Amino acid sequence: MNEKSEFDSELFRTATSQLDAVAGRLGLEANIHERLRYPRRALVVTVPTQMDNGRTEVFVGYRVHHNTVLGPTKGGLRYHMDVNLGEVTALAMLMSWKCAIMGLPYGGAKGGVRCDPSAMSARELEHMTRRYTAEIMLMIGPDLDIPAPDLGTNEQIMAWMMDTYSMTQGRTVPGVVTGKPLLVGGSAGRREATGRGIVYALYQAARRLGQELKGWRIVVQGFGNVGAVAARLLWREGCLIVAVGDVRGGVYNPKGLDIRQLESHVAEAGTVAGFPASEAVGSAELLELPCDVLIPAALGSQIRQDNAHRVKASIVAEGANGPTTPEADTILRDRGVTVIPDILANAGGVVVSYFEWVQGLQYYFWRESEITARLQEIMTRAFNRVWVIASKEGTDLRTAALMEGVRRVADAFKLRGLYP
């Protein structure tokens, strides 16, 4: 396929360069390598939506299945102005590796609508979500593709998607999406799953490095569902959360922020900016503050070639998808910074999504204590597998994680063969 394809974007180039880098190490067959570089199927749709003023606005939406060799596809749905086919395709590819690393029976998928959800009313969001769901109906289903929340989407949007799909089936189908509200088939512990998974990964990193998690100084970029949960749980473990940022600003206190008070402030002000007993910091400055652990949990490509040499953290735990560019990866590796890659660090969300899917299919729901215990077991097992590969191969954790994920998918391709 032509490299300047319709999928071309910065994130797609990053994802394919990561795949290419491990293909040689794995001795990947050329035909399988080529199949893994592009999605199995991609759908582009228009989403006409009636706005509150009576005008009809047409949005562009996407749903991409990277591969289905391990099972139905799984991946989030994002609403953001920067959504494009290349980004969605790259994120679907990363989901393939993430699910394989965790041992889940899924291929990777991703979806999105190019819009600004913050500028839309609840009624407009519902209309757009239901129309988008109707447009991608041929791509989703509990045994085909199971969407979940991502950037700009939430439990309510998942409930609208489930209801729209269910109305077309004439019955309630809770397994068509995950990340739903508890009342309509959601899972206990799903909202906290990604942040909790980051904590479990950091706990294993500390153990492997012969250190204690307690007392670590943490900087969190992004105080949404992922960053806020990770910050709260790490704070409860005795870590010092020295800085937190969101889209409207950042706050810094070298003695540590009181996360309980910060969450109350955010609930009232809608941002971390202006939190008392702290000093304001910009988004760029936040990434360069002195700390033990940096958790980029906002958008992609935040740590780049131009700022990676100023990152002072010893560990970068990627809460967001693709927050570090390949050039920055090289700089951090050469400086001895341990990067826990996104496909490992933030996999807690898809693990508990898998639990929710299983519960929905069985109409039998588990206690939160069961879910967190199973999540910790899977995250711990996956982290230790990747760490052993990195040690054996003499490489960084991202390369080791990619080797594990790509190998599992490639092996499944070999076992299943090529039809016809």
Residues annotated as part of the active site: 110
Segment (H or E) for 263? helix 259-269
Q: What is the DSSP string of 226-254?
A: HHHHHHHHHHHTT-EEEEEEETTEEEE-T
Peptide bond into 147 cis (omega under 30): no
Q: How far apart are CA 410 and CA 150, in angstroms?
A: 27
Smallest CA-to-CA distance from 117 within 154, 146, 89, 90 is with 154
Q: How far apart are CA 20 and CA 153, in angstroms?
A: 32
H helical segments located in 103-186: 122-135, 155-169
The answer for residues whose C-beta is within 8 angstroms of residue 139's C-beta and 6 or more apart is 41, 43, 63, 65, 145
Phi-psi region of 301 (alpha: psi -120 to 50; beta: other; left: phi over 0): left
From residue 228, give the alpha-carbon distance in Å to each of 41, 206, 264, 271, 303.
Answer: 35, 21, 12, 12, 20
Amino acid at 310: R
